Amino acid sequence: MSALDQSDMGFLVELADRAGAEIMEIYAGDIAVAEKEDRSVVTKADTAAEAVILAGLAQRFAAIPVVAEESVAAGKIPEVADRFFLVDPLDGTREFISRNGEFTVNIALVENGVPVAGVVTLPALGIAYWTSGDGTAWRRDKDGTRAVSCRAVPPEGASVVASRSHRDAETDAFIATIKVKELVSAGSSLKFCRVAEGSADVYPRFGRTMEWDVAAGHAVLAAAGGSVTGADGSPFRYGKPGWDNRAFIARGRG
């Protein structure tokens, strides 16, 4: 369980909201797109949101290193030990550019290779998910705040949520091995949250991801009673060389 208390988690949710407000200001205007060295895309919203998050984390958690996507891309890579933050200020940049609303702000705390606390917000949709100090997963939307949890796979088959922008043949091959009721596409770390709240059952990912793409959603899903493992069933850990992930399967209960 995270050493962060409910006050700390409230601060992280507020911080993600502030970053989301920066994103939405840019979302409302013209979106200028650039390409990073790895050929992924970046916008001013990514860097503006990350600046807000880094400033807030430095203020409240000065002793905890922060591994953040755009900082790493700029060569600013901190020394980390057993405890560090992973930050993706704008996950789903392609969703942001296409203006479909399915992009997220992600903040996670990792301890001993495990994401023990996480916040995922969807600024365009007015929705937030997070873990609290007692290990509960929460969702906040226009109707208020409530605890969420995974469901058991229905007898008629699983609802499988897959990447909108990065689906591949390996994913399709995995899906063919399970009983599927419906297949739904979604962007960003929203897919983890769909499983966490029981509106989906399985999220397979065989394409490349980075640790900051996954950690916050993983934390929310775990608190909701789900799991994330390697495609072979092995534990899925963080703090790997280069922050590079292998294939994983996110599941609800059963």
Q: Is 56 marked within a binding site?
A: no
Q: Is 86 marked within a binding site?
A: no
Return all residues near 98 (Cβ < 8 A) that are at least 6 apart: none
Whether residue 128 contacts residue 119, with contact meaning beta carbons closer than 8 Å, is answered with yes
Distance CA 202, CA 226 (A): 10
Q: At what angle do helices 6-27 and 44-60 cross, to 10 degrees?
A: 160
Q: Is 102 marked within a binding site?
A: no
Q: Is 92 marked within a binding site?
A: yes
Distance CA 23, CA 106 (A): 13
State the number of CA atoms in the 13 A half-sphere of 59 facing the CB: 10
Using DSSP, state whether 7 is helix, strand or coil: helix
Residue given tokens 């992600």 in the structure block:
106
Return all residues near 162 (Cβ < 8 A) that are at least 6 apart: 171, 175, 183, 184, 185, 186, 191, 203, 204
Question: Facing residues of 115 across strands?
Answer: 110
Q: Is 183 marked within a binding site?
A: no
Q: How many residues does this entry show for the chain?
A: 254
Residues of each annotated binding site for substrate: 69, 90-93, 213
Output the known binding site: 69, 88, 90-93, 213
Task: Give the residue ranges of the annotated binding site for Mg(2+).
Answer: 69, 88, 90-91, 213
